Structure 1
Amino acid sequence: MLYLENNTSFLLPYFLTSDVVLPAEIGGEAVVWRSSLFELLDKHGQLVSQREEISPEFRLTANTNRQEYSFTVRLLGEERRWLAGYTREPNENSNVYSRFVADSLHLALSREREEGGFEALNSNYGVLFAKADYSRSEAGETKLLQMPRFFRLAGQGFGILAIPLDYEEHVDGPGELLYFETQDFVHYEEKNRIKITQTAWLDYSCELDAATRLYRIGWKEESGETRFVTTKDFKDFSLPQPGVIFPARFAQLPIEGARAGQLIALTASEAAYLEHKLGRVRHVSVDDPIITLNAGAPSLNLNNARVTARYTDGSVALKRIEVDRNEAATIDLSQPGRHELEAKIVRHRFPYPMMNTRPDPYVLLYKGRYYFISTDDDWQRKIFIRSSETLEGLEDGKTEEVLLWNGNVPEGERRGEHWAPELHVICGKLYCFLAISVNNAWDGVQAHVALLEGEDPMNPAHWGTPQRVLNRHGEVLTDTHHRERDISLDMTYFELGGKSYVCWSQPKWIGEEQELAALYMATVNPEQPWRLTSDPVRICRNEYGWDRNGGIASGVSEGPYVLKQGSRMFMIFSGSGVGPTYAVGMMEMSAAEDPLDIHAWRKYNYPLMHSLSQPGQYGPGHNMFAQDEFGDWFNVYHACGVNGGHRHASIRPVHFRFDGSPILDMKDEEELLPEYERITLTVVVN
């Protein structure tokens, strides 16, 4: 992979792999190659990778009888792997995979060192999407991308270029490129849009030139001519001039819908991080469980016994176990000995659907019982609640439902749609946050809060009248008397650093324009959680193809839920249309920062849960994390059929990756291999 120009000079990229073939002659003259690091070049003039991931910078020189060529380069190590970047063909049914998600960067990682055996990352769903353009309207214009090309940066990280498309897949500015940077192919920053030329092109590439230490962007025009520009910072560019371009390396990928993918070599650690972060995490083993106690112990207490399950990304999960109590009672604890018991790892298998026509689900463990509450997808005007001693007992047919609020009954402003209830314990009191229509129609739903004034959440008479949420001035948060479709919904509550916050969805009016539904946040008085104590701050809006899936200005950001895990805060939310294109996104921040600071949050460019996550479950979303009495976490969500229709709720266990981020869509066999469901527990009495 050495690139000649006019037989008098040639191109060599700054980052090399050992399969780059250095030519034995140039212009008919023999070449002698030398390296300032002799161990990286063999006696035949071929590069030799070492065990280190990337070599120090070294000098390569090519000598002929008449000329010397000199390059500053670095060589990737022998344990490299290949990353392929590609876009996909959309599915003929746009509900399955539309152009809005197909026209994004997808990634696949080679299983072995060589090119081949690629595995799609993020379940073959896009990971890098172009941002919407908000320069002309508050609703924005959806943007897509095609022909992504990536390359290593001179320092750390990678650059990515892509041709911008409008929402109809037309080239959005001939000769223009979107420029992104990433440190790890997981977190991305869209830096700027650059104008290279006035001419449309057929192909292009970019590499860091080993001779000039400038980035060289080259392209092939429709006339067949190749031209290039150089830049050191992707802000200032040289004038276009004729010349050869760095060819990009491609592979045909045996992945559904994948177009040919450009390849780039990754170090072993870069590949491992990417695989662990975007690949499927799978269970691989269980540590031998051993319980040790002293002779004379009164009994064998296994209530808190856990076994360590290990996963492909290096993460672990502590799994509960169960044993036959009669068998356990036969163990003699009065004297030293070693005993073995057959044990079963406790696992939860929840059916889908589990709660039919119950979208926007919410589960709370309250005073020893689980309570499930949701929207009623049959006209969306009633709020039902059910309760059980176990999560499994919340399934349809296993417990009775009670009607709490009925929007079909003319009771003042509480007539109409009732949406997305949530149960929160605040200052020892139970509240229900929900959206209720104030004009007997969907476009008049407003955030409300109801207090449990009695003792029983299942008794409608024990609930107080829902109150409309007020801003910090004591006025209603949104008001259809002032503007049409002035709605607020999906309000959630969380606490951090001794302060109380609410977050909700609102398509806010800005002047004479209304934005698409975005997420707003404010502090709230915990003694009166319907009363804001700060001005609302917009912290998230739908800006990518996956959460604008459907048109030039389409989709919502809604259904927020906040989880604090150690020193980090995760906010999950739902985007796109409320139907089979729905998907779950995530933002995160340090728990030491201010949630009202929009710059504290980092929004993932891609969704964590989508229609490719679980077979037959389309549009998964409006989810939350429920914790059981043992401290284990579960994802409670809804989904629907490929063509929409009623939405149904279900539950899945949540696993946390090696870095503490949640996995929402782990399959049963990924969570626990069947052969480890039954294990042997060793009890050692000292």
Structure 2
Amino acid sequence: MKMEGHYNNPIVLQRADPWVYKHTDGYYYFTGSVPGYQEIEVRRAKSLNELADAERHNVWQAHETGPLSRLIWAPEIHFIRGKWYIYFAASDNEKIRDEHHHHRMFVIENSSPNPFEGEWVEKGQIKTQQESFSLDGTVFTHRNELYYVWAQLGPAIPGNSNLYLSKMENPWTLTGKELLLSIPEYDWEKVGFKVNEGPAAIQRNGKVFITYSASATDENYCMGLLWADENSDLLDGYSWQKNPVPVFETSEENKLFGPGHNSFTVSEDGSQDLIIYHARPEKNHSGDPLDNPNRHAHVQAFTWDEQGFPVFGIPGE
């Protein structure tokens, strides 16, 4: 059995917001934010250690102008209802910190069984009920219904981004109620910026868990946890609870700073749950941390406690 200690961390260099999806064909499909923020790259391998030098394809390139031309952030690859989808955020403005917050969420689709073949078709913007800065969309299926979780600036809510939840009519269209799921309320969610972003869902032990990232993307970046009973109405705000402290944060001892924007997968033999996350090998000393490409993708096994909650431990543990 491949234990966590056998993973060659970091598994991929300079890929922030790492997303790993293990498909039925036995491949791990990996994507993440590419420095320069102008393309979407997908790579695949039969083991996580092989992703560093794996077969890779540039599946989509930013437009020359317009809303899909700048700052291509945090792509996620999913296989939904027999087709491949990649969700990502894009802007029409080079300024990372822009007062108009141009980022919006988009999705592309490929109907080929092999996502390295066929054509990736632009399905357009994921439109929400309030037209504002939005990013980091992810999807999960619960009781045969598709849900979408994302980060968005609430015009009437102080801060930079909150988390929202909605059902989907199809993989590119939201439908019905949009629930305000979480806002930055604790001190550890508001260092540098008031941020809840980068959600990822995992369902275990009768619960739906959503991890997310908080604060600025430097060494203060960390992960929080939301959960609801699997039998509850997920679009009822009272169904959800929030951990008052971070569940994964900087380890100075292990030189892993600002861990976050994670995804979940399982080990090669399926015996272990794994968290995939990015972290920096040092603190961000100057400039905007989003301009620093030293966020690398790491993998770590985690366990579950007696109450059925995930125990992520310490980065690099």
TM-score by length of 1: 0.42
The corresponding residue for 1:684 is none
Contact persistence 2:248–2:315 (CA under 8 A): no
1:276-287 equivalences in 2 (<5 Å)? none
Contact persistence 1:446–1:478 (CA under 8 A): no
- The alignment status of 1:640 with 2:295, answered yes or no, reads no
- The alignment status of 1:521 with 2:165, answered yes or no, reads yes
The corresponding residue for 1:347 is 3
The corresponding residue for 1:623 is 262
The corresponding residue for 1:405 is 60
Q: Match of 2:114, SS?
A: coil
What one-letter code is carried by the residue in structure 2 that aligns with 1:652? Q
The corresponding residue for 2:112 is 454
1:87-126 equivalences in 2 (<5 Å)? none
> For residues 177 and 104 of structure 2, what CA distance do their matches in structure 1 show?
17
The corresponding residue for 1:500 is 146
Deviation at 1:520, TM superposition (A): 0.6
What is the aligned counterpart of 2:103 among 425, 434, 445? 445
> For residues 9 and 26 of structure 2, what CA distance do their matches in structure 1 show?
25
Q: Match of 1:509, SS?
A: coil
Choose 1 or 2 for highest CA Rg.
Answer: 1
| Structure 1 residues 562 and 591: alpha-carbon distance in aligned structure 2, compared to 1, 3 A threshold | same
Contact persistence 1:655–1:666 (CA under 8 A): no
| Structure 1 residues 440 and 478: alpha-carbon distance in aligned structure 2, compared to 1, 3 A threshold | farther
- The alignment status of 1:372 with 2:30, answered yes or no, reads yes
| CA offsets 1:171-218 (integer angstroms, 9 cap, x no match) | xxxxxxxxxxxxxxxxxxxxxxxxxxxxxxxxxxxxxxxxxxxxxxxx
What one-letter code is carried by the residue in structure 2 that aligns with 1:452? N
Contact persistence 2:105–2:136 (CA under 8 A): yes
Deviation at 1:357, TM superposition (A): 1.1
- The alignment status of 1:387 with 2:44, answered yes or no, reads yes
Q: Match of 1:364, SS?
A: strand
| Structure 1 residues 613 and 529: alpha-carbon distance in aligned structure 2, compared to 1, 3 A threshold | farther
The corresponding residue for 2:239 is 600
- The alignment status of 1:567 with 2:206, answered yes or no, reads yes
| Structure 1 residues 426 and 614: alpha-carbon distance in aligned structure 2, compared to 1, 3 A threshold | farther
What one-letter code is carried by the residue in structure 2 that aligns with 1:347? M
What one-letter code is carried by the residue in structure 1 that aligns with 2:276? V
> For residues 579 and 424 of structure 1, what CA distance do their matches in structure 2 show?
28
> For residues 43 and 312 of structure 2, what CA distance do their matches in structure 1 show?
24
Contact persistence 2:213–2:261 (CA under 8 A): yes
Deviation at 1:598, TM superposition (A): 1.4
> For residues 641 and 506 of structure 1, what CA distance do their matches in structure 2 show?
29
Contact persistence 1:454–1:462 (CA under 8 A): yes
Contact persistence 2:159–2:194 (CA under 8 A): no
The corresponding residue for 2:289 is none
| Structure 1 residues 382 and 403: alpha-carbon distance in aligned structure 2, compared to 1, 3 A threshold | same
Contact persistence 2:7–2:49 (CA under 8 A): yes
| Structure 1 residues 466 and 498: alpha-carbon distance in aligned structure 2, compared to 1, 3 A threshold | closer
The corresponding residue for 1:362 is 19
Q: Match of 2:164, SS?
A: strand
RMSD: 2.2
| CA offsets 1:592-636 (integer angstroms, 9 cap, x no match) | 111111111110010111013861000000011112453331100
Give the aligned length.
302
Q: Match of 2:238, SS?
A: helix
> For residues 614 and 387 of structure 1, what CA distance do their matches in structure 2 show?
32
Q: Give the unaligned 5+ runs of structure 2.
A: 285-291
> For residues 569 and 634 of structure 1, what CA distance do their matches in structure 2 show?
16
Contact persistence 1:619–1:639 (CA under 8 A): yes
Deviation at 1:659, TM superposition (A): 2.2
Contact persistence 1:359–1:648 (CA under 8 A): yes
What one-letter code is carried by the residue in structure 2 that aligns with 1:541? I
| Structure 1 residues 386 and 478: alpha-carbon distance in aligned structure 2, compared to 1, 3 A threshold | farther
Contact persistence 1:447–1:491 (CA under 8 A): yes
What one-letter code is carried by the residue in structure 2 that aligns with 1:610? E
Q: Which one has more relative contact order, counting CA pairs under 8 Å at least 6 apart? A: 2
1:474-493 equivalences in 2 (<5 Å)? 479=131, 486-493=132-139
| CA offsets 1:383-408 (integer angstroms, 9 cap, x no match) | 211110112111x2x2243222222x
- The alignment status of 1:417 with 2:74, answered yes or no, reads no
The corresponding residue for 1:587 is 226
> For residues 580 and 414 of structure 1, what CA distance do their matches in structure 2 show?
29
TM-score by length of 2: 0.88
| CA offsets 1:637-673 (integer angstroms, 9 cap, x no match) | 00113322321111111222222211223578x7xxx
> For residues 113 and 124 of structure 2, what CA distance do their matches in structure 1 show?
19
| Structure 1 residues 667 and 507: alpha-carbon distance in aligned structure 2, compared to 1, 3 A threshold | closer
1:463-474 equivalences in 2 (<5 Å)? 463-471=120-128
Deviation at 1:452, TM superposition (A): 1.1
What one-letter code is carried by the residue in structure 2 that aligns with 1:388? A
| Structure 1 residues 628 and 351: alpha-carbon distance in aligned structure 2, compared to 1, 3 A threshold | closer
Q: Write 1 or 2 for the structure with the bigger share of strand.
A: 2
> For residues 116 and 32 of structure 2, what CA distance do their matches in structure 1 show?
14
> For residues 614 and 495 of structure 1, what CA distance do their matches in structure 2 show?
38
- The alignment status of 1:661 with 2:316, answered yes or no, reads no
| CA offsets 1:557-604 (integer angstroms, 9 cap, x no match) | 001111110311111000011111000110111101111111111100
